[in-house]
Each structure stands twice: as C-alpha cells, then as structure tokens.
Amino acid sequence: MKKRLIGFIAFIVLLVLLAAAGFAFIKNIKAPVSSTKEESVRIEIPSGMSVSGAASLLKEKGLIRNAKLFYYVARYPSLKKVLFRASDEEAFVLRSGIYYISPSMNIIQIQSILASGQQEYIKVSLPEGLTISKIAAELEENRICSAKEFIAVCKSADFAEKNGIAGESCEGFLFPDTYFLTVGMTAESVAKIMIENFYAKIQEIPTLAAMNAADLYQAVILASIVEREYRIESEAPLIASVFKNRLRRNIGLYSCATVEYILTEIEGRPHPERILIEDTKIDNPYNTYKWAGLPPGPISNPGMVALRASADTPKTNYYFFQIVDPAAGKHIFTTNFDEHVQSHNLYTKSNKK
C-alpha cells in the first residue's frame, strides 16, 4: 500500500514537472525573439507563398522562435485565444507584399501585419520627355517590373486601343510624374496607372479634354516634339506656333528632336552631342527634315507645359526658330528665311529631362 502511494505521488510529481516543462516550453516559443525594440527587418512575401513557407522565412530571418507554432496558430485561429488571449479568432490570410517586421513582435502581431496587405511603396520620379524605353529602364532599376515586359506592353497596338489611344503604341500617353509603386507589379498595371494619370491631367486643359481620340493623338505627337525642343517654359508655346504654321503650309518641321529619336530609339545609337547634316538625310518617316507633316507617332512623353502649348497655341507669324544659347536653351524666333540665323551645326538640346 505504501509503495503504491509513493508510486502515485511520484506519478503526480512527474505530471506536474512535465506540465511545467511544457508550459515553459510553450511560453518560450511563443514569446518574441527580442524583448527590446530592435531595428525592423525587411521581409518580401511573393505572390503564391504558402503560410508554412512564410513561417520558415520568418524563422530564417530570426523573427520568430518556432515555425511550426506560427503555422498552427495561422491554421487554427482558436489557438490565438488559448495561447495569446487574443479577442478575435479570424482566419489568417497571408497577403503578398513587402513588410518590415521587428523581432520584438509576437506571432499575433506579425500575422496581423502580414495579413494587412500594406506594402512598401517605391517612389519613382519620371521627368518630362522620356521615351517608353527610358521609362522601362527606370522601372527595372527600381525592381518595379521587367523593362522588356514594359516595352512589350506599351508597344502593343491592342493594349493602346484598349486604353483609348489612336496610335500603335502608348508612347506619349505615359504621363511624366512621381509614382509610388511596389516591387513586382505587372508591366500592364504600371502602364495603366500612367495612362489613367494622363487622361486625368488633360482634364485641366479643356481643349485637349474635348478632343476625340484621333485629334488627341495628333496633339500629343506635336506636344512630344515641343517637349524635346524647348528648354525655357515661356518658349514652348512659340515653338508650337512655329510648327503649326509650318504644318499649315506643308513645310517640314525640321525638328532635331525627331532625328534624335531615330538615332537613339529606332537605330539604338548613343545620345548624340549634335545632329549632323548627314543625320537629317536618314530615310525614315520620323525624319521631319525629309518629310513634311507630323511623324507617325509621339517621340517622347510630354508634360503639361508642352501639352498646353500644343493645345492652346498662340497665333504668330513665326516660321523659324534658331538656338542662340545652347547652354541655356534660348531661341530666336523669325518670320522668314532671310531673318533666320543659319548656323553651321544643328544642335541637339542638352538633355533637360
């Protein structure tokens, strides 16, 4: 009888010890990794990652003590109440994104952040006058999307048509602005944001806003040339007036910017320091020295100054403009060839963009 009593007591003690050990173990693995507020760690949760994959990543980064506990708490929401005295028992939904997690956070806090969908936004500033390819390079450098995919989307006639663009590509309709984007976006979604911004911005220019798709496309082509020609804002409307006067008389626009577009965007050459006489003889529909009228499409993505100049152009008698200060981008405007100051070299404007 005495032996049985001793055995029973020993069994009870063992159970207590096991329970205490189990309690201590659970208390330890559910506790934050650090008791002090340390610098947050950047975590990227790609689309399609499983909860167990996220748990393993968090354990690897030293942000949780036990990956299995993270998984079970996510899988069985009732454990939140039992282990963490949480008031809610909502199911955990892992959302892709980029998050900053502190080692001082417990599992519930971490899961709350990973379920929020709040992402790290990357600021991308696109100046006026960039082309599709240059915008694509900026996006890839910032890890927003692939440059190749962005170019393919923006040069798709079907995508352009879906977005109300009358041309064969989206060139000219990717509004230059500061965008807050996220890593790994689709090229299509990025392009759509920029195009929608373009349409929103031109509402500030009633003349453009009232145009049909075909007329708007022609206005954007002209604006894209003005964008690459002007340096001083007050000269943009005067440059547009020269081009419109020449268009009415079926005189070639003689725009260095269109030749530069051929050299850099079509032929893939480096940006030239100046346009040479032989460059103006290139047989290409974008060459406004060889062909009268507007080129087939925009040569850049213009901003508000150039768009407004193209839409609300003042009436002048100017048919020529000549750069007189290449460093400042200052031009002289004249009404006839005799007044026109002819230079020996045709300057490309310094890249103001």
Angle at 119 between CA 116 and CA 124, to 5 degrees: 160
pLDDT digits 0-9 by tens, 163-172: 999 999 999 9
b/e per residue, 79-103, with b = 16+ CB within 10 A?
bbeebeebeeeeebebebbbbebbb
pLDDT of 273 reads 85
Is a pLDDT exceeding 70 seen at residue 115?
yes
Q: What residues have CB less than 8 Å from 60, skipping those under 6 apart?
A: none
The answer on pLDDT for 247 being more than 80 is: yes
CB atoms within 10 A of CB 178: 9
pLDDT of residue 23: 46
pLDDT of residue 353: 47
pLDDT at residue 281 above 60?
yes
- At residue 12 the predicted structure's pLDDT band, cuts being 50, 70 and 90, is low
Query: Tell me, what's the pLDDT at 9?
Result: 54
Helix (H, G, I), strand (E, B) or coil at 92: coil
**Mean per-residue pLDDT, 240-246:** 97
Residue 137: what pLDDT? 97
Joined together, the tokens standing for residue 308 give 């407004």
Residue 258: CA count within 13 A, CB half-sphere: 29
236-248 and 304-311 are packed helices; what angle lies between their axes, rounded to 10 degrees?
40
